[in-house]
Amino acid sequence: MRNFAFLEPGSVQEASRLLADLGDECRVIAGGTALMLGMRQRMLTPSHLVSLGRLDALRQIQFDARGGLRIGALALHAQVARSELVQAHYPMLASMAARVANPQVRNQGTIGGNLCYADPATDPPGCLMALQAQVVLDGRNGERVLDMEAFLVDYYTTALAPDEVVTEIRIPAPAPDAVGHYARFLRTAAEHRPLASVALVARRTGATCIEARLAVGASTPIPTRLRRAEAFLAGKAITPEVAAEAADLVAADIDPVSDMRGNADYRREMVRTVARRSIATLFGLAAE
């Protein structure tokens, strides 16, 4: 590993100035679970690391009925999973956070760092997209608030400017009739990264879907909202046949990647299966 200088700014503004001054020679470090791996493998060789470790205000998790949930970018995955506020109001998010990677990563990695790394085969981005989350960025030109779909640009690429820092994630308050389900498919029990994931949030009355938001992750370069399937589900009584037809729309509308973990056809079929089962589970049907 190349020698580097370790800088500890005392504010977001100071961190932003350092990033602007040092340019490509520096990297931000929060939990460091992905960054340190890249540095050990010499994929990254920064001369400076700008640590956010002193910015304790970015670790808070807050909720109110009007503004919704605010998660500081430095909140650990394990904190999100254990938060009573998250468990009470966003059980789907708590369930997802409890399954991210492995215990070591959950107790060291941060939710903001996860989003900035933009690994396509990880859990938070798709789940947050279905929950209509927004990412708050702060830099020399002030604060920006981006929807998840605008923040995630491409494979390992975000809309984060070189001088910007992610400060928090905002999720609107859930509707009283909203329910959610997050599902992931692993090829083997030993794997920590999903091959496919489906996040589904729906407003429902009994077996009828009023409105749905559905996002697929892990099998696509970035998480993808499936609007045709969402429109198909809206206003329908959900039966096994409706769930299967919606899953067919999901599978048809994604652009899956092919790599050593699975080719595009395999991933498409796994997404179809996970989507159908997720819809069935959310609406109390027996999933097959």
pLDDT digits (tens, 9 = 90+) for 127-163: 999 999 999 999 999 999 999 999 999 999 999 999 9
- Residues contacting 57, CB < 8 A, separation 6+: 72
| Global confidence as pTM | 0.96
What whole-number percentage of the chain has pLDDT above 70? Answer: 99
Helices (H), 84-201: 84-89, 91-97, 103-106, 111-117, 124-130, 148-151
pLDDT bracket for residue 288 (50, 70, 90): low
Neighbours of 209 (CB within 10 A): 24
* Partners of 209 in the β-ladder: 204
The helix or strand, by DSSP H or E, that contains position 171, with its residue range, turns out to be strand 165-171
Q: pLDDT digit string (tens) for 251-273?
A: 999 999 999 999 999 999 999 99
Q: Is the pLDDT of residue 287 over 70?
A: no
Read off the amino acid at residue 55.
Answer: L
Which has the closest alpha carbon to 257: 278, 271, 245? 271
DSSP of 189-200:
TT--S-SEEEEE
Q: What tokens does 178 get?
A: 């909203």
Span 44-52, average pLDDT: 96
Q: What is the pLDDT of residue 2?
A: 82
**Residue 190: per-residue pLDDT:** 83
Instruction: Give CA–CA dist 262/264, Å, rounded.
Output: 7
CATH class in words for 56-171: alpha beta
Nearest CA to 151 among 132, 175, 123? 132
Cβ atoms < 10 Å from Cβ of 23: 10
Residues 6, 11: Cα–Cα separation, whole Å: 15
**What is the pLDDT of the chain when averaged over all its residues?**
96
- Evaluate whether the domain defined by 5-51 bears CATH number 1.20.1630.10: no
Residue 184: name the closest of 94, 84, 96, 288 by CA.
96
Per-residue pLDDT of 62-110, as tens digits, reads 999 999 999 999 999 999 999 999 999 999 999 999 999 999 999 999 9
Average pLDDT over residues 188-206: 94
The whole-angstrom distance between residue 44's C-alpha and the CA centroid of its chain comes to 23
Q: Quick one: what percent of the chain has pLDDT higher than 90?
A: 94
Q: CA–CA separation, 223 vs 99, rounded Å?
A: 18
pLDDT of residue 222: 95
Can you give the residue ranges of every domain in the chain? 5-51, 56-171, 180-282
The strand pair at 48-51 and 134-139 is best described as unpaired
Residue of 233, 191, 179 whose CA lies nearest to 208: 233
Q: Could you give the CA distance from residue 58 to residue 12 in angstroms, rounded to a whole number?
A: 9
pLDDT tens by residue, 207-249: 999 999 999 999 999 999 999 999 999 999 999 999 999 999 9
- Rounded CA-CA distance 81/67 in Å is 20
C-alpha gyration radius of the chain: 19
Q: Name the DSSP letter for residue 144.
A: E
For domain 180-282, the question of CATH label 3.30.390.50 is answered with yes
What's the burial of 132, exposed, middle or buried (CB within 10 Å: 0-12/13-18/19+)?
middle
Sign of the Cα pseudo-torsion (60, 193, 138, 91, in order): negative
Residue carrying the six token digits 């056809």: 265
Instruction: Please check the confidence at residue 1 and state whether its pLDDT lies above 80.
Output: no
Is the predicted pLDDT of residue 286 greater than 80, yes or no?
A: no
Pairing assessment for the beta strands 157-158 and 224-225 based on DSSP bridges: unpaired
